[in-house]
Amino acid sequence: MNKIVLITGATSGIGLACARKFAENGDRLILTGRKVDRLNDIQEELSAKGTEVKTLVFDVRDREKAEKCLSELPKEWQEIDVLVNNAGLALGLEPEYAGSFEDWETMIDTNIKGLLTMTRLIVPGMVERDRGHIINIGSVAGDAAYAGGNVYCATKAAVKALSDGLRIDVANTAIRVTNLKPGLVETNFSNTRFHGDDERAANVYKGIKPLTGDDIADVAVYAANAPAHVQIAEVLILATHQASGSVIVRK
Ligand code: NDP
Ligand code: 8X3
C-alpha cells in the first residue's frame, strides 16, 4: 500500500538509501535534513521517477523548528505512516576520560534527543489513527561498547531502550516499532566521526567488504511492508567478516 514515509537525515548514507528504496516501493516521501541544496537535488531525482516528495529543512536538535515544519505540512501530508529516525552521528574515538564535551553534547542531542523529539511530535497522530511504524536506526554499537566508542555506543544503547520502551507503550495499538542495528556501513559516517580526515575514514573500511546504505534500506522497506500482524522488532545487520562491534576480520 502507498504510505507516507518521513525520513530524517535523508541527505546522505542510510537515510538517502532509504529515500530511494521507499520511492522504488511506491511510497510518498517527506525527506528532512539540514542541507537544502541536497534535499532539492534528491527531490528532483526522485520526482523525475514519479515519486511524490516533500522536503523539510530542519536540524533534529531544533525542537521548535521541527514542530513548526511538521505543523505546516499540507493536510494531505500530515498522516505519516512510517517515521524513519535515521539522523545521527559519531564524533571522535577518544577514550572516555579524554573526549570532547562538545562532541558528546552533539551526539547526545542528535542521536537521543533528536530522535525523541521526532517520536514525540509524530507518534501521537499514529496513536490517534491506530496506524503507523517507527523505524529507529540504532547500531551494533548499542549492543556492547568498543574501544573509544563510549558516548556514541551509549547513545545507540539509548536508541535500543527507547525503541523497546515505545514498543511497550504502543503495544495496545496497531503501531510497530523496529530497531535496525547496522554494523560497518560505508557512508559519510566515518568522515564525520574523524572531523573530515578522509584517509582515517577510509581506513575503517580497509580489508573488509562493508555494508552499503542500500543493504540497510532493504531491511527497512521489508519491515515496513511485513504483514500487519508481524512486527520486526530488532535486526542486527553485519558485514560477513564482522562478528561484533569490535571483532572485524580484515583480509
Ligand atoms: P551519514 O553521515 O552518511 O548520514 C548522516 C545523516 O544524518 C546526514 O544526512 C546528516 O545530515 C544527518 N544528520 C546528522 N546530524 C543531524 C542533525 N542534527 N539534524 C538533521 N540531520 C542530521 O551517516 P550514516 O548514513 O551512516 O548514518 C545514518 C544513521 O545510521 C546514524 O544514526 C548512524 O549513527 C547510524 N549508523 C551508521 C552506521 C555506519 O557504519 N555508517 C552503522 C550503524 C548505525 P548532514 O549532512 O546535514 O550532516
Ligand atoms: C556505526 C557502526 O561499528 O562504527 O554505528 O559503531 S560502528
Per-residue model confidence as pLDDT tens digits over 141-167: 999 999 999 999 999 999 999 999 999
Q: What is the reported pLDDT for 24?
A: 98
Residue holding cell 535515521?
A: 86
Q: Is the CB of 178 under 6 A from ligand 1?
A: no
Report which ligand 2 atom has the smallest distance to the Cα of 139. 5
Q: Is 230 helix (H, G, I), strand (E, B) or coil?
A: coil
* Predicted TM-score of the model (pTM): 0.98
The percent of residues in the chain predicted with pLDDT above 90, rounded, is 99
Rounded distance between C-alpha atoms, residue 13 and residue 215, angstroms: 11
How many residues can be counted in the chain? 251
Kindly report the backbone phi and psi dihedral angles of residue 57, in degrees, each rounded to the nearest multiple of 5, phi listed first. -105, 105
The rounded distance, in Å, linking the Cα atoms of 188 and 75 is 34
State yes or no: pLDDT of 217 exceeds 90: yes
Cα–Cα distance measured from residue 192 to residue 188, given in angstroms and rounded to the nearest whole number: 6
Q: State residue 84's pLDDT score.
A: 99
Closest-CA residue to 114 (of 232, 234, 188, 9): 9
Widest Cα–Cα separation across the chain: 53
CB of 139 closer than 6 angstroms to any ligand 2 atom? yes
The rounded Å distance from CA 9 to ligand 1 centre is 6
Task: At 185, give phi and psi (nearest 5°).
Answer: -120, 125
Count the neighbouring beta carbons within 10 Å of the beta carbon of residue 68. 12
Per-residue pLDDT at 150: 98
Dihedral of alpha carbons 181, 184, 186, 191, sign:
positive
Contact 14 CB / ligand 1 (< 6 Å): yes
Output the CA 245–ligand 2 centroid distance in Å: 7
pLDDT of the residue at 197: 97
pLDDT at 2 (0 to 100): 87
Output the residue whose Cα is nearest ligand 2's atom 5: 139
For CA atoms 180, 182, 186, 190, the dihedral sign is positive
Write the pLDDT tens digit of every residue in 72-127. Answer: 999 999 999 999 999 999 999 999 999 999 999 999 999 999 999 999 999 999 99
Report, as an integer, the average pLDDT of 204-217.
98
- Reply yes or no on whether the pLDDT at 1 is more than 80: no
Best residue among 11, 14, 153 to mutate for probing ligand 1, ranked by most atoms within 8 Å of CB: 14
Q: Single out the catalytic residue among 97, 146, 152, 205.
A: 152
User: Which residue has a Cα nearest atom 39 of ligand 1?
Assistant: 185
